Amino acid sequence: MKKIVEIKNLRKTFCKGDICVANSLNLDLIEGEIFTILGTSGSGKTTFLRMLAGLEKPDSGEISIDQEKVFSNNINLEPNKRKVAIVFQNYALLPHINVASNILFGSNASKEKLEVILEKTKLKGHEKKYPHELSGGQQQRVALARAIINKPKILLLDEPLSNIDTELRNILRTELKEMIREFNITALFITHDKEDAFFLSDRIAIMHGGDILQVGTAKELYNNPKTLYCASFLGKITKIDENSYIRPENIKISENGQIEGIVKENIFYGNFNEITIFANGQNLIVNSSDENLKVGDIVKLSFEDRIMKF
């Protein structure tokens, strides 16, 4: 598997070292994957992406893109020499020029290439429209087309799905994934949204306070988080003793359960019920399909084997 991006000991501080936004980061991106940096606001995601693109200068470390060193202590390639392209959160389309000109902006791509891109991004017939005449999905495709037309080695996406209502977001992220696959491009996506990360990514890195805490597939991170922070960031957990935690779907209500509890709440969410049960001196959150349990019912619980220890 070919490494498209290699990052070694990348460090960046702001305000004379007071704020550390990249604390000696190490990361490899593999050709063709969709890789997501997932972290809360202020964790350092945008700064990381900007350093890759050459828009922010790291304090130290190394960045290679497609086997070429683009940053080290004596190298700092300009953004346009780095074979990267960015799709920004608001797409940053130019309002006073049409779709075709937006796609070709800053590019010396031929008319033929434009035709191919228009076809592939389903924008054929819309090339003379202005950005305000397009739907959200079409605007996203223009931004993608513009980013992809020069065949970058890596596509960087800074929260393109934020500030969009849920229904449209679900459509846009499906399209986004299809397009990235269609163009067979390596993509680095950054988001604070766990669901978007799970939907889009081959692998995810959890970022927090300028550190990458853990890298893995969604399943690996969810089932085997290395730290309490990662565990609770990716889903609900309940503490069951000093250093053991469990997810709601791994607590079972059954006749043979060893722990007795009393139902405090049963909330219907459509595809599952979230039941709060007071047992062992504390409230446990349990996911179950049992719609009929009522407040005050006595139940027996057992913990499945997925207990997490930190």
Ligand X SMILES: Nc1ncnc2c1ncn2[C@@H]1O[C@H](COP(=O)(O)OP(=O)(O)OP(=O)(O)O)[C@@H](O)[C@H]1O
3-state helix, strand, coil in the chain (%, to 5): 25, 35, 35
Site residues for ligand X, 185-224, by CB under 6 A, read: 192
Scored b (16 or more CB within 10 A) or e, 124-150 reads eebbebebeebeeebbbbbbbbbbbbe
- Is 11 a binder of ligand X (CB under 6 A)? no
Choosing from 4, 34, 35, 44, the residue that interacts with ligand X (CB under 6 A) is 44
Q: How far is the CB of 210 from ligand X (least distance, A)?
A: 7
Q: Is 161 exposed, middle or buried (0-12, 13-18, 19+ CB in 10 A)?
A: buried
Task: Choose among 216, 156, 158: nearest CA to 187.
Answer: 156
Q: Which residue, 39 or 61, has its beta carbon nearer to ligand X?
A: 39
Site residues for Mg ion, 97-116, by CB under 5 A, read: none
Choosing from 6, 30, 31, 42, the residue that interacts with ligand X (CB under 6 A) is 42
Choosing from 10, 34, 35, 47, the residue that interacts with ligand X (CB under 6 A) is 47
* Binding-site string for Mg ion from residue 29 to residue 68, where x marks contact by CB under 5 A and - marks none: -----------------x----------------------
C-beta atoms surrounding 220 within 10 Å: 13
- Is 163 a binder of ligand X (CB under 6 A)? no
Q: What angle do CA 168, 177, 129 make, to 5 degrees?
A: 60
Q: Which residues bind Mg ion (CB under 5 A)?
A: 46
Q: Which residues bind ligand X (CB under 6 A)?
A: 14-15, 19, 21, 39, 41-47, 192
